[in-house]
């Protein structure tokens, strides 16, 4: 399958998943009307919050599904849409936990409601409360309906049961990872590298890679061996992606990533970069800057230089390559069909491409 073929397929999958979500939100808004216009507005805001995403998780579902021979694209799109709603719920509630009103530089649900309240003359305190409240409620609706979308995807009872176990695993792990991440922020000392990798695996890789790939494979009726290997691939590449995310959060190009490269340093975010750096001599000189809420761009530059000097950057890059290669090794196993290998190879390559 050549590159442009994969792009066409990717676009087609996105269109199908978007159609499922559009239908879901349309039904919800119609139903919400009986409860008052502000409830319709909440659903509209939630819908706007899911529009325009990369649909990465749904693509993982459908990629696994189609390349393993599945042809009921409607069912696959429903399962994919379910994972997109789960993703939405988790990031909306993650922003509540962090009291964030923006994501990637734009207002999130909390920010949208806060801005509206401010525009009507509310105080900052009241506006913030309005925002956080809407985000808690919207996240609950997205979470509940992630389950419901699979439940009503039209698949057989037995298939439904298995897929819902996968969705359950996704939330169970993500909640555990989020809790560990919160504990990291509270703890005085910086965690070890492997503890951070564990947290990142639970918090993000499981629901973003492992479970969507498993779900797509199960839906396609793949063997237990294929499902298991795909899950392993998902774990390895998911961890690799998180390490790359950590690198981009400090060294990336803001126009590309949409994230600032001072945010993580200012916030004192515990990443593998920092975990490695704290084991080095060089870090001691700059450690006081890390986590400073008033960190200037210049000081961020100093931290970046130290992270390079002390070897943290190249260590993290090497670690990402290591996990990406382990992921490729899973794909190379003989029971993985060529079509599946062809589809997932680029996913691993894109990690390697960022850490040349």
Binding positions for a second copy, rule: CB under 8 A: 31-32, 35-36, 38-39, 42, 89, 93, 96-97, 117, 122, 126, 129-130, 132-134, 136-137, 139-141, 143-144, 147-148, 151, 157, 164, 168, 171-173, 175-180, 182-183, 185-186, 202
The structure tokens listed for 235 are 């774990």
Residue closer to a second copy, measured from CB, 55 or 201: 201
Closest approach of a second copy to the CB of residue 354, in Å: 29
- Comparing CB distances to a second copy, the nearer of 95 and 264 is 95
Which CA distances in Å does 31 have to 26, 28, 40, 150, 204?
A: 9, 5, 8, 20, 32
Residue closer to a second copy, measured from CB, 263 or 346: 263
Contacts of 286 (CB under 8 A, 6+ apart): 302, 303, 306
Own/partner contacts of 331-337, CB < 8 Å, gap of 24 or more, are: 331/233, 333/229, 335/223, 335/225, 335/226, 335/229, 336/226, 336/229, 336/230, 337/67, 337/68, 337/69, 337/226
Closer to a second copy at the Cβ: 165 or 309? 165
Of 171, 113, 120, give the one whose Cα is nearest residue 138: 113
Nearer residue to a second copy within complex by CB, 121 or 338:
121
Report, in Å, the least distance between residue 355 CB and a second copy.
Answer: 28
Closer of 126 and 342 to a second copy (Cβ): 126
Smallest gap from Cβ 130 to a second copy, in A, equals 5
Taking the complex as a whole, how short is the minimal distance between the CB of residue 266 and a second copy, in angstroms?
16
CB of 159 to a second copy, least distance (A): 12
CB of 232 to a second copy, least distance (A): 16
């Amino acid at each position: 399958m050549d590159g442009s073929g994969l792009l066409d397929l990717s676009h087609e999958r996105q269109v199908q998943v978007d159609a499922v979500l559009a239908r879901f939100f349309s039904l919800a808004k119609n139903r919400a009307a009986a409860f008052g216009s502000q409830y319709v507005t909440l659903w509209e805001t939630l819908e706007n919050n899911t529009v325009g995403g990369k649909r990465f998780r749904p693509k993982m579902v459908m990629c696994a599904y189609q390349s393993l021979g599945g042809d009921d694209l409607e069912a696959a799109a429903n399962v994919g849409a379910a994972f997109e709603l789960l993703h939405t719920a988790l990031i909306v509630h993650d922003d509540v936990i962090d009291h964030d009103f923006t994501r990637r530089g734009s207002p999130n649900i909390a920010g949208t409601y806060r801005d509206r309240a401010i525009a009507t003359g509310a105080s900052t305190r009241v506006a913030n409360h309005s925002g956080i409240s809407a985000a808690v409620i919207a996240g609950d609706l997205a979470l509940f309906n992630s389950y419901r979308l699979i439940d009503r995807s039209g698949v057989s009872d037995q298939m439904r049961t298995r897929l819902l176990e996968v969705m359950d695993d996704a939330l169970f792990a993500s909640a555990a990872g989020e809790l560990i991440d919160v504990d990291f922020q509270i703890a005085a000392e910086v965690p070890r590298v492997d503890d951070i990798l564990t947290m990142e695996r639970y918090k993000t890789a499981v629901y973003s890679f492992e479970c969507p790939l498993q779900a797509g494979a199960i839906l396609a009726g793949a063997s237990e061996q294929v499902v298991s290997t795909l899950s392993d691939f998902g774990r390895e590449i998911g961890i690799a992606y998180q390490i790359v995310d950590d690198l981009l959060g400090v060294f990336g190009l803001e126009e590309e990533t949409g994230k600032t490269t001072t945010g993580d340093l200012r916030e004192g975010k515990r990443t593998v970069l920092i975990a490695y750096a704290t084991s080095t001599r060089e870090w001691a000189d700059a450690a006081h800057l890390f986590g400073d809420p008033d960190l200037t761009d210049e000081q961020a530059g100093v931290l970046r230089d130290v992270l390079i000097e002390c070897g943290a950057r190249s260590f993290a890059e090497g670690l990402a390559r290591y996990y990406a290669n382990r992921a490729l090794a899973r794909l190379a196993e003989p029971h993985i069909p060529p079509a599946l290998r062809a589809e997932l190879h680029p996913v691993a390559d894109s990690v390697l491409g960022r850490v040349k």
